[in-house]
């Protein structure tokens, strides 16, 4: 049957299982938008800025594990996608970005709205294509989706010139296949048998092992295997920012996040371990700090699907290239149960000594907002974040119960990511409670997408942690630049309540902790439009603990009044519904008792 390139492309997308496209029209994609007119199998979401479209596709992909799709016109439309594509690239998120291009006859002639988008995105895509003939479209689309989702996932861009979408050719949709064969691209998924045995041996011999789990465990769908490995061996787990949810963070074996703003106990554990089992993690500088001083006494097992990650930062003793889930499944066949050990007690002791804690002095704090979001939503809300202090507080205090419940821009650290990502998530899961935790800096970077949420009736809740300043930069200026607060005071901001209303959503302001609960309970009941919760917190609050950039745990900064806080928070615990601290102590006491019982037996 005769079909235009645009129709062929849509047919291919449908056959790839695409149900949503986030996009924005323009001259070079007119044929594609014409094909979308009245096309009911795929829902198009009209955004307000192409950057929003790329983050929505990203959020959609992170929450579902499916490939997210965004669409933009040539030139500025395409370049506006770049930040979102780079965000997905740094975090290995599968998206396919489709861009229009000027006619093939004028490519390279500085035509109107021409940009060399395949050239521009070369360093931030896993691969990209410029389609020069409509006959190539089915193969290219199939390859694009295959490359995006397989191996180490990542963004793929497909650039389609106007004449390629316009031209009609003979094509039978039944010939389309999602199975592709690219001879030069064969990701290794099965780990090496010998290496896996060696890893099991190291685990059996280790006295002080730690599991260090990254985003690879999430993208490979290995949460169950990670948890099983931890439970069988009683090895405590720390996750990276992107690994959150690989184990239930309320699990007795979870230490939360490690690294610059990770928990002190996770960092102490990693620093003192004799075996570090890195699972789908890449030893990012925000995790390691000074590499020479990171896990110095430890042997390292490194499981990753990307061979280039092995030895990039730290040379492992046992490298295993393969899909995390496949490798862990094999590994579990060789791993013997281990008891709770003194090492575990030691970590629990660190945990009790350096808990995550914040003042409870009648002021509203970000940490409290985050805990209450968890409480009100039964810790089931899918949380997206922007970037900055609020993101780190959320990483510390939002306890993910499952994978894909946590959507954040880690590698690139993209402010403005949170709201559009939340819209992408909500589109995938219309019934879920989706909360975007944002800052007053980040929120304004993609605020226009509130309109998109209103138009599509999406009840995303944005909680703005409003400190009237660019808090993370301010924190660095305070600590490392002699309190020279250069251009971090926002001076004036819109009235976020009125702003939300202007966009057709609901706005609320919370200034006191006692008002928060009611506001949140009201917010989660609204199911047909976006809600903005302006949470006003003190400007001077910093994120603790903190290991300064490029340094080691020896330089870790903790709250100066930690001991005082530990005492007061306990005295006050009845008025506060959730006390992480208390839970930790209970677990610690339990652990100590278990250890004593064991000793008595011996």
Partner 1 sequence: MATAISNTIMAQMQQQHVITVLVENHPGVLARVAGLFARRGYNIESLTVSVTDDPQVSRMTIVVGEDHRVLEQVIKQLHKLIEVIRVADYAEFPAIERELALIKVNADPRHRREIMEIAEVFRGRIVDMSDKTFVVEVTGGTEKIDKIYELLSAYGIREMVRTGVIAMARGTKTA
Query: Contact residues for partner 1 (CB under 8 A)?
Result: 118-119, 122-123, 126-127, 130, 147, 182-185, 306-308, 310-312
Specify the residue, 144 or 465, whose C-beta has the smaller distance to partner 1.
144
Residues 6+ apart with CB under 8 A from 496: 440, 443, 464, 466, 507, 509, 532, 534
CB of 60 or CB of 89, closer to partner 1: 89
- Show the 3-state SS of 508-561: EEECCHHHHHHHHHHHHHCCCCCEEEEEECCCCCCCCCECCCCCCHHHCECCCC
Whether omega before 545 lies within 30 degrees of 0, making that bond cis, reads yes
Residue 180 or 594 having the CB closest to partner 1 = 180
Task: State the nearest-atom distance from the C-beta of 126 to partner 1, in Å.
Answer: 7
* Residue 210 in tokens: 């730690």
Query: Which is it for strands 2-4 and 168-170: parallel, antiparallel or unpaired?
Result: antiparallel
By beta-carbon proximity to partner 1, the closer residue of 52 and 153 is: 153
Tokens of 6: 């645009």
Work out how close the CB of 132 gets to partner 1 at its nearest, in angstroms, rounded to a whole number.
9
Nearer to partner 1, 122 or 502 (CB): 122
User: Long-range contacts made by residues 225-233, C-beta under 8 angstroms, separation at least 24?
Assistant: 225/324, 225/325, 225/328, 225/329, 225/332, 226/279, 226/328, 227/251, 228/328, 228/332, 229/328, 229/331, 229/332, 229/335, 232/332, 232/335, 232/336, 232/337, 232/338, 233/203, 233/209, 233/335, 233/337, 233/338
Q: How far is the CB of 145 from partner 1 (least distance, A)?
A: 13
- CA gap 485, 468 in Å, rounded: 13
**Which tokens hold the place of 264?**
């002190």
- Token pair, residue 189, equals 């998924």
CB of 191 to partner 1, least distance (A): 17
Which residue's CB is nearer to partner 1, number 114 or number 580? 114
Structure-block tokens of residue 269: 């554990």
Cβ of residue 582: shortest distance to partner 1, in angstroms?
47
CB of 307 to partner 1, least distance (A): 5
Helices 513-525 & 366-376 angle (0-180, nearest 10):
40
Question: Measured from the CB of residue 154, what is the shortest distance to partner 1 in angstroms?
Answer: 10
Q: Which residue, 311 or 457, is less far from partner 1 as judged by CB?
A: 311
Integer Cα distance of 150 and 329 in angstroms:
19
| Cα–Cα distance for residue pair 17/61, rounded to 1 Å | 13
Coil/strand/helix, residue 278: strand
- H helix intervals, 37-81: 50-64, 76-80
Contact 589, 329 (CB under 8 A): no
Instruction: Supply φ then ψ for residue 432, to 5 degrees.
Output: -75, 155
CB 305 within 8 A of CB 189: yes
CA-CA-CA-CA torsion sign (262, 556, 391, 561): positive
Report the length, in residues, of the chain: 602
**Cβ closest to partner 1, residue 143 vs residue 580:** 143
CB of 100 to partner 1, least distance (A): 19
State in angstroms the smallest separation of the CB of 187 from partner 1: 10
Q: Where are the alpha helices (DSSP H) in 183-263?
A: 193-205, 215-219, 223-233
User: Which residue lies nearer to partner 1 by CB, 147 or 465?
Assistant: 147
From CA 118, how far away is CA 132, in angstroms rounded? 13
- Taking the complex as a whole, the smallest distance from the CB of residue 189 to partner 1 amounts, in Å, to 15
Closest distance of CB 224 from partner 1, Å: 28
Residue 185 vs 456, nearer CB to partner 1: 185
Nearer to partner 1, 135 or 306 (CB): 306
What is the nearest approach in angstroms of partner 1 to the Cβ of residue 215? 17
- Nearer to partner 1 by Cβ, of 55 and 126: the residue is 126
| Complex with partner 1: residue 188 or 493, whichever CB lies closer | 188
> Which among 569, 597, 596 is positioned nearest to 583, based on CA atoms?
569
Cβ at position 433, least distance to partner 1 in Å: 38
SS3 state of residue 467: coil
In the complex with partner 1, the residue whose CB is nearer, 129 or 365, is: 129
What's the min distance (Å) between Cβ of 276 and partner 1?
20
């Amino acid at each position: 049957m005769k079909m235009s390139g645009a129709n062929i492309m849509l047919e291919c997308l449908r056959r790839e299982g695409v149900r949503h496209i986030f996009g924005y029209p323009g001259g070079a994609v007119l044929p594609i938008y014409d094909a979308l007119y009245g096309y009911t199998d795929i829902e198009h979401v009209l955004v307000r800025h192409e950057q929003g479209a790329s983050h929505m596709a990203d959020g959609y992909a992170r929450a579902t594990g499916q490939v997210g799709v965004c669409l933009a016109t040539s030139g500025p439309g395409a370049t506006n996608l770049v930040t979102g594509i780079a965000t997905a690239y740094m975090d290995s998120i599968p998206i396919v970005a489709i861009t229009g291009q000027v006619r093939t006859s004028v490519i390279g002639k500085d035509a109107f709205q021409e940009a060399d988008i395949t050239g521009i995105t070369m360093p931030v895509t896993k691969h990209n294509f410029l389609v020069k003939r409509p006959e190539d479209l089915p193969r290219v689309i199939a390859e694009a989706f295959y490359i995006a989702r397989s191996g180490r996932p990542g963004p793929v861009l497909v650039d389609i010139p106007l004449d390629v979408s316009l031209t009609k050719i003979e094509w039978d949709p039944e010939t389309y296949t999602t199975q592709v064969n690219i001879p030069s691209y064969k990701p290794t998924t099965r780990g090496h048998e010998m290496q896996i045995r060696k890893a099991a041996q190291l685990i059996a011999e280790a006295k002080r092992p730690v599991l260090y789990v990254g985003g690879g465990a999430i993208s490979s769908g290995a949460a169950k295997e990670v948890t099983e490995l931890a439970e069988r061996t009683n090895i405590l787990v720390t996750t990276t920012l992107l690994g959150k949810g690989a184990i239930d963070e309320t699990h007795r074996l979870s230490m939360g996040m490690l690294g610059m703003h990770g928990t002190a106990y996770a960092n102490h554990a990693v620093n003192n371990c004799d075996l570090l089992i890195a699972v789908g993690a890449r030893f990012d500088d925000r995790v390691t700090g000074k590499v020479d001083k990171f896990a110095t006494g430890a042997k390292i097992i490194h499981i990753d699907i990307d061979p280039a990650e092995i030895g990039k930062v730290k040379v492992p003793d046992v490298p295993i290239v393969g899909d995390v889930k496949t490798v862990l499944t094999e590994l579990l066949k060789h791993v013997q149960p281990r008891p709770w050990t003194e090492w575990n007690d030691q970590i629990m002791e660190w945990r009790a000594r350096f808990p995550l804690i914040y003042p409870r002095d009648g002021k509203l704090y970000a940490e409290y907002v985050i805990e209450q979001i968890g409480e009100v939503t039964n810790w089931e809300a899918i949380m997206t974040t922007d970037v900055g202090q609020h993101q780190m507080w959320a990483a510390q205090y939002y306890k993910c119960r499952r994978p894909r419940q946590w959507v954040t821009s880690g590698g690139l650290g993209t402010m403005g990511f949170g709201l559009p990502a939340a819209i992408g998530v909500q589109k995938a899961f219309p019934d879920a409670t989706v909360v975007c935790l944002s800052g007053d800096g980040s929120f304004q970077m993609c605020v226009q997408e509130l309109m998109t949420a209103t138009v599509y009736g999406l009840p995303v809740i944005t909680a703005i942690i409003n400190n009237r300043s660019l808090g993370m930069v301010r924190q660095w200026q305070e600590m490392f630049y002699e309190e020279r607060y250069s251009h971090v005071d926002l001076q004036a901001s819109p009235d976020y309540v009125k702003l939300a209303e202007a966009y057709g959503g609901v706005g609320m302001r919370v200034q006191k902790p006692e008002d928060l609960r009611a506001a949140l309970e009201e917010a989660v009941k609204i199911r047909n439009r976006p809600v903005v919760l302006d949470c006003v917190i003190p400007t001077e609050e910093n994120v603790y603990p903190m290991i300064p950039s490029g340094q080691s745990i020896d330089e870790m900064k903790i709250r100066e009044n930690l001991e005082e806080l530990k005492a007061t928070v306990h005295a006050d615990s009845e008025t506060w519904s959730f006390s992480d601290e208390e839970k930790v102590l209970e677990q610690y006491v339990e652990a100590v008792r278990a250890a004593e019982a064991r000793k008595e037996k011996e």
